[in-house]
Structure 1
Amino acid sequence: MQARYQAILDQLKTFIPKQRLISDPLRTLAYGTDASFYRLTPQLVVRVENEQEVIKLISLANAHALPLTFRAAGTSLSGQAVTDSILVQLGDGWNGHKINADASEIRLQPGVIGAHANRYLAPFQRKIGPDPASINAAKIGGIAANNASGMCCGTAQNSYRTLASMRMILSDGSVLDTGNPESVEQFRQQHRCMLNALGSLAELTRSNTSLRQKIEHKYRLKNTTGYSLNALIDFGDPIDILQHLMIGSEGTLGFISEITYKTVPEHPCKASALVFFNDVRTTCEAVALLKATPVAAVELMDRAGLRSVENKPGMPDFMRELPDDAAALLIETRAKTAAVLQQQIDVICASLIHLETLRPVEFSTDPDECARYWAIRKGLFPAVGAVRETGTTVIIEDVAFPVERLADAVADLHRLFQRWEYPEALIFGHALEGNLHFVFTQSFDTQEALIRYEGLMDDVAKLVVEVYGGSLKAEHGTGRNMAPYVELEWGTDAYELMWELKQLLDPTGILNPGVILNRDQQVHLKNLKPLPAANPLVDKCIECGFCEPVCPSRDLTLTPRQRIAVWREIQRLERSGDDAERLRQLKKDYDYQGDTTCAACGLCSTSCPVGINTGDLTREIRHFHNESHENTAAWIASHYGGAMRLSKAAFRIADTTHRLIGTSAMSGLTRGLRKISGNRVQQWTPAMPTAAPALSATRGNHSTGATGQVVYLPSCASRTMGPMRGAADKSSLADKTITLLEKAGFEVILPTQSDGLCCGMPFQSKGMFEAAEQKRNELNRVLMNLTRQGTIPVYSDTSPCSLRLQEGLDPALQLFDSIEFLDRFVLPQLIIDPIEGPVALHVTCSTTRMGLAEPLKRILSACCRNLVIPEQITCCGFAGDKGFTTPELNASALRTLKDSVAHCSEGYSTSRTCEIGLSHHSGIEYRSPVYLIDQCSRPRQP
């Protein structure tokens, strides 16, 4: 590390804990990537938790003349969230929100994920205006700093237009809260010169007729190229000008520490229609007609885009037979009531009646059908990513044209694609605003490829600016990607005005230099991200970061995106033979950062646009490392019943010791043993289960079977782990499950020799694939026999096991996870008397992956009037036995749990191992929903 960075690091250590200061080669490499196609490796990553830390950091950066780049979620596409200096990342301290009395405003800290803000507002039928495609991952700080918009946002509901007030930290460390009159007055006194200069620039801009008219024209369209110069003509008060300049400034003018949005309606009634036209021109004529109708969104898709998804499951057959110039519009309308919605549908249909469509215009209000329509639109970007050649990246550009010239613009773009040989390029976008995205694949590994990309971008810039007077960036921000073209788009006067604003607000130039404004006309062709082949399991990764919010290790070590980025570099070094020492160090560090602390839960696949499960890569790496242990694994698999009896004995010994010496002494003893053993002794907690009692094979044969028969498959965990010491109910999960099933009228059938049965998950998670398949195949044979070749349903009581079994059992078997079986077959047979609560619910990663989160919430809501689902908790990180062997992963994943459920007396989940960590870190007992259902239910039939 350079001396200047070491000096600032030493000073930062005096007020920021070392775990939030990252300077090692592996993690700085990992943080060198964002969703763009640029890579810059920071010298230092600082995770800040509050304003005071930001202020002190800015002061040190000024003193050392070291640039700072602020990053929220890193989902930006134009290279604005990477740096080779100091990267500043938001920690947990930035997740606050407050809604005013009538929900007309919401105050948000920059670390709040956009979708979470909308979840807070949902009970009031309100939402924030911006709706970027990345809203499930993007954070408010980035949404505001990039003036991100989206499909329904347009220009009327973006951050600039819905800003109520803002709290910001400027480059001199001063704080301004525009919603606080005292703060405003103090700032006016202390920054009089700055505000006077802003006022003067605004007056000069308004008096420059040609410049003012250009600004007015630019912001009739969606536009995020350069700074928000419209602030200089829209507002007279320099305070208003300043806070609106911060919108879209990409962290180059200051740090947004809080923003208050004016909220917008979220109407409950929605309808969508997918309308196909013979040609693009007619499609664009339809857009112009729809602009005057009550539509919420109009998304255009060209033939190349439709072709990229036409063979996907669920796509209509006729899509494959569309003409070569065909295009489609996805139209959505929203209203407060069904009656108003129908009126709006009638108006929209009437506007299109004189245009020829390939199929009749039909709106649907069915949520599932509408979801299928939107799946077509949302599948366009990942469709290109999924079929690209390894080593290439996916580029999504973002332009805007006057709506009345949209058809000609689309035709001209297609001609450019042909000229520069991008046959796979496709166009889609928010047509109502003239905002088009075009997507293509690009390699940067040869000079010829670089020249081709440069040529395309130069021609696109001239087309958009000189021919159509459009925007080169409509909603993705300028970044490094479009910085060389800002002057072309805006002209010299406006461009130099932007430089004056930068100099006024960041005179030392420490805030994200080179972004938005850059004198280097080749900056968009430098520091391009390499995407070398790493493993077919992850080679399609586009490093968008959508996976990061759900990863349990995201604040401990690496995220899925970062694991893939580092593994790519390791594989590149392996093949090239370059820098053997660096390779050795990266591999050594990856063992803990990438492998040991990966829960391999697969939640990343649920939010990945191309469906990548980074856990598959982790298991394959473990398989390679554990090859020498395959024989041991096979022996354990063959003697699994004995292994389970040993586990039960260990729980019995631990519980007896706990009872004899007490919790405090037991904690101290086990902590000491773990430390002495170099963490080889597993972690013990007071939530550790007791040993489960033996389950008799005749235990479940007492029901009349009035409802039917069911084979009950208790998992390994259910068979070995009883309730924790001090549990409210001493019954084992297996006993409680049988009691409940019998109460609902089922005849319960148990495997006669269940001790040795296993789904294979314990072996699979460690990469011991042969032993895992051995156990699953063995269980398959037992179940086929027990269910009479699949005629009797199987009830699986542990969600992770259910997921693994569903992925590999004989299709004839009717295997149900406990959630689905309880929801579909058990609850209808019971009368539920709900408790008041509040009770906490943890949705396991396997539950989410099986699509059973909503049924689980439905079950708990039926049994409890006050259900609490902690906002920031995804996978708990216990990951089978990692809660014992790598307890820091579980602790990090659940670090916010205790405060979230402090008012709850009990919690529920569907995995016995997960419940250990949940109980330990929450301070309340977590157990299966079966206990709650049994507690508050009675049979319908006496």
Structure 2
Amino acid sequence: MEAALVDEYEYAGVNTCAGDSSCAIACPVDIDTGHVMKQVRRDAWSPAAQRVGEEVARRWGVGAAGARVAVGAADVVRRGLGSAGSAALAGVTNAGRALLGEDLVPRWLDAIPGPAPRVPRTRATQQTADAVLFAACINRIFGPPPGSRGALTVTEALVALAERAGKNLWIPDDLGDDCCATIWQSKGLDAGNRLMAARLVEDLHRWSDGGRLPVVVDAASCTLGVLEEVVPHLDDAHRALHDDLTVLDATTWVLREVVPALGDHPTLGTVVVHPTCSMHTLGIADHLRALAGIVAEDVVEPVVATCCGTAGDRAMLHPELTETATLEEVAELAGVDADAWVSGNRTCELGLEHDTGRPYESVVVTLERLTRPASPPNWTSAPSTSGRRAAG
């Protein structure tokens, strides 16, 4: 009986906990159940597993590149075989999950996009930059929504918008081994978490010229990871380096530094917006809403748009989590005809697309399309440009 209860709780309480701490936002006494579940996950790993997690962190550049290749290979199968390809990919991943475990092998979802293009090179250098752009792993691995035409990644869109606004963003050449460490923290892999947190802070300090340049992060969960979640895992010397840093989410930076320089541009009719848990935790959900209000005349934010349950890889490990978490949101959006569906974190967008069937993307990508010079935006669905809005 005890063993059965433990097994049931492992699924119901630990493995299907998003671990995003959004429960603490709703709790009147700030109880953070997500943090507790991460500690439970940590205590469940053997010393050998912790060493494996540390080695993965040490060689993360290879791991991230491998993930991108795998996404690319899957996309080739899907595009080549269509629905039969998707069925084959689902069969392969389901077999792997049965063999190795549902919490190790992700499930194939049709919402999984193709691979991201290589990180763009910018004209700026560290000496001429206004800010450092830290391109998150998820934006180096996952590309735009499947089937989108002419879409950019949020990293590419940020570079384009910065140039358009006369701002210099610099992307370091050697960021391939770096990550916000959220992967290791979420899974309770402490050794890898500490290694990655220390490396990240050292590199951000170097790239930012000792904190002279602000660091812009292009995924909200990674912004939270860099700004807050790595700190408890740093020693005193690395905390001192972290104290020198100014870290901004892409939505915040674009709203403050880019939008005032863009001038007038076409606007959409309606946009649906989903603020992520990380945005709520950071207190920047209003920045997403403000950008949504700049790209569209009518902004629809579902009343029940809370945690989507994606939590990085949870949507691929336990799709039932996101499907349940968004049931009310999907129902509220039934019949809504929008020109764009926006958020601010690539994996959350992936989970939302799986649940709603809508092509969610970063609002930064949407803004870039609307302000492209020389040619009209290339939309997956025709936008309404009935109004024009001053971007300031």
Output the TM-score relative to the length of structure 1: 0.36
Note the residue ranges of structure 1 that are not aligned, 5 or more in a row: 1-580
Supply the distance in 2 between the matched residues of 1:790 and 1:846 (Cα, whole angstroms): 23
1:486-565 to 2 correspondences below 5 Å: none
Which of 11, 22, 27 aligns to 1:592? It is: 11
1:645 matches 2:60? no
Which of 626, 641, 656 aligns to 2:45? It is: 626
1:907 matches 2:327? no
Secondary structure of 1:833's partner?
Answer: strand
**Partner of residue 760, structure 1:** 181
**Partner of residue 789, structure 1:** 210
CA distance 1:613–1:729, change in 2 (3 Å): farther
Is contact 1:834–1:865 with CA below 8 Å preserved after alignment? no
Is contact 2:288–2:343 with CA below 8 Å preserved after alignment? no
1:890-929 to 2 correspondences below 5 Å: 890-901=322-333, 902-929=336-363
Supply the distance in 2 between the matched residues of 1:704 and 1:631 (Cα, whole angstroms): 39
Secondary structure of 2:341's partner?
Answer: strand
Supply the distance in 1 between the matched residues of 2:149 and 2:365 (Cα, whole angstroms): 10
1:699 matches 2:131? no
How far the C-alpha of 1:675 sits from its partner, in A, is 4.1
Is contact 2:267–2:294 with CA below 8 Å preserved after alignment? no
**Partner of residue 833, structure 1:** 265
The letter of the residue matching 2:371 is: S
Supply the distance in 2 between the matched residues of 1:894 and 1:915 (Cα, whole angstroms): 12
The letter of the residue matching 2:8 is: D
CA distance 1:648–1:676, change in 2 (3 Å): closer
Which whole-Å deviations, capped at 9, do the CAs of 1:427-448 have from their partners, x for residues lacking one?
Answer: xxxxxxxxxxxxxxxxxxxxxx
Supply the distance in 2 between the matched residues of 1:760 and 1:734 (Cα, whole angstroms): 19
**Partner of residue 690, structure 1:** 114
Is contact 2:268–2:339 with CA below 8 Å preserved after alignment? no
Which whole-Å deviations, capped at 9, do the CAs of 1:300-337 have from their partners, x for residues lacking one?
Answer: xxxxxxxxxxxxxxxxxxxxxxxxxxxxxxxxxxxxxx
Which of 33, 46, 49 aligns to 1:614? It is: 33
How far the C-alpha of 1:813 sits from its partner, in A, is 0.6
List structure 1 segments (4+ residues) > 4 angstroms apart after TM superposition: 702-705
How far the C-alpha of 1:829 sits from its partner, in A, is 1.8
Secondary structure of 1:875's partner?
Answer: coil
How far the C-alpha of 1:891 sits from its partner, in A, is 1.1
Supply the distance in 1 between the matched residues of 2:8 and 2:34 (Cα, whole angstroms): 18
How far the C-alpha of 1:636 sits from its partner, in A, is 0.3
Is contact 2:273–2:301 with CA below 8 Å preserved after alignment? yes
1:719 matches 2:124? no
Supply the distance in 2 between the matched residues of 1:659 and 1:767 (Cα, whole angstroms): 36
1:76-225 to 2 correspondences below 5 Å: none
How far the C-alpha of 1:674 sits from its partner, in A, is 4.2
1:262-277 to 2 correspondences below 5 Å: none
Supply the distance in 1 between the matched residues of 2:112 and 2:273 (Cα, whole angstroms): 19
Which of 635, 642, 654 aligns to 2:74? It is: 654
**Partner of residue 225, structure 2:** 804
How far the C-alpha of 1:768 sits from its partner, in A, is 0.9
CA distance 1:751–1:937, change in 2 (3 Å): same
How far the C-alpha of 1:724 sits from its partner, in A, is 2.6
Which of 772, 775, 779 aligns to 2:196? It is: 775
Which whole-Å deviations, capped at 9, do the CAs of 1:750-778 have from their partners, x for residues lacking one?
Answer: 12211111010011000112211211211
Supply the distance in 1 between the matched residues of 2:215 and 2:46 (Cα, whole angstroms): 34
Supply the distance in 2 between the matched residues of 1:758 and 1:676 (Cα, whole angstroms): 30
Secondary structure of 1:737's partner?
Answer: helix
Supply the distance in 2 between the matched residues of 1:703 and 1:805 (Cα, whole angstroms): 20
1:876 matches 2:308? yes
Is contact 1:831–1:937 with CA below 8 Å preserved after alignment? no
CA distance 1:690–1:864, change in 2 (3 Å): same
CA distance 1:784–1:871, change in 2 (3 Å): same
The letter of the residue matching 1:613 is: D
Supply the distance in 2 between the matched residues of 1:715 and 1:736 (Cα, whole angstroms): 14
The letter of the residue matching 1:595 is: V
**Partner of residue 604, structure 1:** 23
Supply the distance in 1 between the matched residues of 2:123 and 2:23 (Cα, whole angstroms): 39
The letter of the residue matching 2:306 is: T
Supply the distance in 2 between the matched residues of 1:616 and 1:729 (Cα, whole angstroms): 40
The letter of the residue matching 1:907 is: W
Supply the distance in 1 between the matched residues of 2:10 and 2:287 (Cα, whole angstroms): 38
CA distance 1:743–1:769, change in 2 (3 Å): same
How far the C-alpha of 1:863 sits from its partner, in A, is 1.6
% of aligned pairs identical? 28
Secondary structure of 1:775's partner?
Answer: helix
Supply the distance in 2 between the matched residues of 1:716 and 1:855 (Cα, whole angstroms): 23
How far the C-alpha of 1:878 sits from its partner, in A, is 0.9
**Partner of residue 736, structure 1:** 157
Supply the distance in 2 between the matched residues of 1:682 and 1:732 (Cα, whole angstroms): 23
Supply the distance in 1 between the matched residues of 2:127 and 2:369 (Cα, whole angstroms): 21
Supply the distance in 1 between the matched residues of 2:329 and 2:123 (Cα, whole angstroms): 37
1:745 matches 2:177? no
The letter of the residue matching 2:288 is: L
How far the C-alpha of 1:924 sits from its partner, in A, is 1.6
The letter of the residue matching 1:598 is: C
Supply the distance in 1 between the matched residues of 2:197 and 2:17 (Cα, whole angstroms): 23
Q: CA RMSD in A?
A: 2.3
How far the C-alpha of 1:590 sits from its partner, in A, is 0.5
How far the C-alpha of 1:701 sits from its partner, in A, is 2.6
Output the TM-score relative to the length of structure 2: 0.85
Supply the distance in 2 between the matched residues of 1:792 and 1:814 (Cα, whole angstroms): 8
Note the residue ranges of structure 2 that are not aligned, 5 or more in a row: 232-238, 374-389
How far the C-alpha of 1:938 sits from its partner, in A, is 7.1
The letter of the residue matching 1:868 is: V
Supply the distance in 2 between the matched residues of 1:794 and 1:822 (Cα, whole angstroms): 13
Supply the distance in 2 between the matched residues of 1:703 and 1:830 (Cα, whole angstroms): 24
Is contact 2:116–2:153 with CA below 8 Å preserved after alignment? yes
**Structure with the larger strand share:** 1
